Amino acid sequence: MKTTLDIQVRAFPVRIHDHSAGTERAETIVLTKEHLQAAQLVGQSSKELIHRICERAGCSVLEIGKPEHRTVSLNLEELYKAHSLHQLGKREKVEV
């Protein structure tokens, strides 16, 4: 049986200045439709949300490009299996 989860995302190309490294670089900030709706509920635009995210990471936003809209499908069974294997590895290390 195949179970999937479809998530609507927006990928924003962002040019940032990293204060800790003193460099500029291009990043892609991916937000779900729910992230954007929650920001709207408190009166924030997508640009304000991106600025807040970058500031928390110690960066300044130089430029925000036009977002690319996509629907991402996740195979929940495969994610569960991968997570279970990862957790088993952690438990084995802890018990040793």
* Predicted pLDDT at 39: 96
How far is it, in rounded angstroms, from Cα 92 to Cα 96?
Answer: 6
How far is residue 5's CA from residue 71's CA, in Å, rounded to a whole number? 10
Residue 17 belongs to domain spanning = 4-95
The DSSP letter of residue 43 is T
* 44-74 pLDDT, tens digit each: 999 999 999 999 999 999 999 999 999 999 9
Model confidence over 72-96: pLDDT tens digits? 999 999 988 888 876 665 554 433 3
DSSP H helices in the chain: 33-41, 46-56, 76-95
pTM surpassing 0.85?
Answer: no
φ, ψ (nearest 5 deg) of residue 58: 80, 30
* Number of domain units in the chain: 1
Q: Give, as one character, the DSSP assignment of residue 66.
A: P
Query: What count of residues does the chain have?
Result: 96
